[in-house]
A and B are shown apart, each in its own frame.
Chain A
C-alpha cells in the first residue's frame, strides 16, 4: 500500500523539480487540448444551437447521432485521422501526420460531438423557456440561436470544461496520429503510456497524478463558474 504514498511523493517531487521536459510535456498537452476545444467550441455550440432551435426533417436522427458520437472510441478516431493524414492517404500532402496539428484535428473530431450534444441539451432547455417570448419579439432561427448561446454561456462554459477534460485524458487518438515523438508530440497521456510500457510504474503513476490534479482543477473551476454565475445573474 505504501506505493500510493511513494507515488504521491514522487508526483510532488516531479512537479516541483522544475524539470524542463516535464513542463514542456504539460504545456504541449494544454496547447493541443485547448486549441482543439476552442475550435470544437465554435463548431459544437453552433451545431448544438442549430439542432436545438431548428426544425428540419431528420432532426431527431441528428440528436440521436450526436448523442451516440459522444461515445466515439478515441483509438478509432485516431486510426481514421491517421489514414486520412498519411502520405498514402487523401490529405497526406499537408504533411500533418506526426505533428501537434494532427493531434489537434483528432481531438477536435472527438470533442466537437460532445460539445454539440451537450450544448444542444442546454440550449434546447433554454429554448423551451424562452421560445414564446423571443418569438413574440420577432426573434427566431439564427438570431434566437445566438441569443440563447450567449444567455446560456455559463452552462456552456461547464460543457467546454467537460470537453477539455476529456481531451486531456485521452491517449488513443494522440498516440496514433502524433507518434509520441520525444520533444515534439509527447503529451502527458502518451508519456504515461510510455513509462508504463517501460515498466517504470512509479514514474508513470506520478505523471498520472499530475494529470489527475489538472483535470480535477478544471472540474473545480467549472463548478465555481456555475455557482458564481447563478448568484450573480440568476
Chain B
C-alpha cells in the first residue's frame, strides 16, 4: 500500500509473559482503515493492542507508527472496563485533558468546553455533574469514550469495549465508535463481537496462538476465510 495509507508497521513483535509466549512473531503493516482484530481467547489480541500503545514493552521487535503531518500520532486507548475516578463525569474528562501535553496549559474554561463538547458527542452532557462511578456500566463506557475523544487523538485503540455491556449499551457504544471513525480518527478495534466487527471493519486481522493466522479485507474474511483456525472460529462463534 502507499505510504500515506499506512497506519503502523509491526515488525517482528514478540512478547513473553508469565512463562508463555503471548506474541510469537507479528509482522504486518496495518492500513489507515477501520481495523478489527479478531481471534479466540488467548490469541494475544489484547497484548498486541497494549504493545502497539506502548503500555507493554515487547521482548523483541518494533512498533513503527506512520507520522501524521510530521509528528508522531497521538494514540488514545479505551479498555474493556471503564475506570473512572471518584469525581464528576465532567471532571473525569478534564482530568485526562490536563494530563495531555497538548491541552494541559489551556485555561479551565476552555477545558470545560472541550469536556462538554465530548460528552455531548456521546449523548451524556446532561450527566456531566454526576459522580462518574454511580453511572451504569454502559454510561461509564461512553464517558470513557468521550474522555478519549476529547484528547483529539489520531488513533483510537479499543480493547473489547462492549464485552461487559448489555445489548442496549452495546448498541450505543457501537454507534459512538462509528461516529468517532467518521470524524477522521483511525481505529483499531479488538472485539469478540462478530456482528460489530462485520458492521464496522474494513480490514480484519485474525490472530491465533500469538500469530496472525489470516489478514484480509472484511467482506472476504467473513465470506471466505482462508485459514483453518479462522474457519473454525467463524463457525463456532455465535455472536
A and B touch in the complex (CB under 8 A): yes
**Interfacial residues, chain A to chain B (CB-CB below 8 A):** 129-130, 132-139, 143, 147, 150-154, 232-234
Q: Which of A130, A133, A134: most chain B Cβ within 10 A? A: A133
Return the 6 tightest CB-CB contacts between A and B, nearest first.
Answer: A234-B133, A133-B83, A234-B134, A136-B77, A233-B131, A137-B99
Q: How far is the CA of A34 from the CA of B83 in the complex (A)?
A: 34
- Which residues, 175 to 220 on B, are CB-close (under 8 Å) to A? none
Q: Is B86 a contact of A135 with CB atoms below 8 Å?
A: no
- Residue of chain B at shortest CB distance from A232: B131
Q: How far is the CA of A133 from the CA of B80 in the complex (A)?
A: 10
Q: How far in angstroms is the closest Cβ of chain B from A127?
A: 11
Are A136 and B86 also in contact (CB < 8 A) when A232-B131, A233-B131, A234-B134 are? no
- Proximity bits, B100-114, A CB within 8 Å = 1, else 0: 110000000000000
- Which residues, 88 to 124 on B, are CB-close (under 8 Å) to A? 95-96, 99-101
Q: Is B86 a contact of A151 with CB atoms below 8 Å?
A: yes
When distances are taken between beta carbons in the complex, the residues of chain A under 8 Å from B134 are 232-234
Question: Could you count the A-B residue pairs with CB atoms below 8 Å apart for me: how many are there?
Answer: 44
A-side binding surface: helix, strand, loop or mixed? helix
- Proximity bits, B50-92, A CB within 8 Å = 1, else 0: 0001010000000000000000000011010001011100000
Q: How far in angstroms is the closest Cβ of chain B from A194?
A: 46
**Interfacial residues, chain B to chain A (CB-CB below 8 A):** 53, 55, 76-77, 79, 83, 85-87, 95-96, 99-101, 131-134
Are A138 and B100 also in contact (CB < 8 A) when A233-B134, A234-B131, A234-B134 are? yes
When distances are taken between beta carbons in the complex, the residues of chain A under 8 Å from B133 are 233-234
- Residue of chain A at shortest CB distance from B50: A132
Q: How far is the CA of A233 from the CA of B85 in the complex (A)?
A: 9
Q: How far in angstroms is the closest Cβ of chain B from A104?
A: 31
Q: Is B85 a contact of A147 with CB atoms below 8 Å?
A: yes
* CB-contact partner of B55 in A136, A152, A234, under 8 A: A136
* CB-contact partner of B79 in A133, A151, A152, A234, under 8 A: A133
Q: Is A135 a contact of B96 with CB atoms below 8 Å?
A: no
Are A135 and B55 also in contact (CB < 8 A) when A147-B85, A151-B85 are? yes
Q: How far in angstroms is the closest Cβ of chain A from B65?
A: 16
When distances are taken between beta carbons in the complex, the residues of chain A under 8 Å from B100 are 137-138
* CB-contact partner of B99 in A132, A139, A150, under 8 A: A139
Q: How far is the CA of A58 from the CA of B83 in the complex (A)?
A: 30
Q: How far is the CA of A12 from the CA of B55 in the complex (A)?
A: 61
- Residue of chain B at shortest CB distance from A134: B83
9 contacts between A and B (CB under 8 A): A129-B83, A130-B83, A132-B79, A136-B79, A147-B85, A151-B86, A232-B134, A233-B134, A234-B86
Q: How far is the CA of A52 from the CA of B21 in the complex (A)?
A: 28
Q: Is A138 a contact of B79 with CB atoms below 8 Å?
A: no
When distances are taken between beta carbons in the complex, the residues of chain A under 8 Å from B55 are 132, 135-136
- Residue of chain A at shortest CB distance from B100: A138
Q: Is A233 a contact of B86 with CB atoms below 8 Å?
A: yes
Q: How far in angstroms is the closest Cβ of chain A from B132?
A: 8
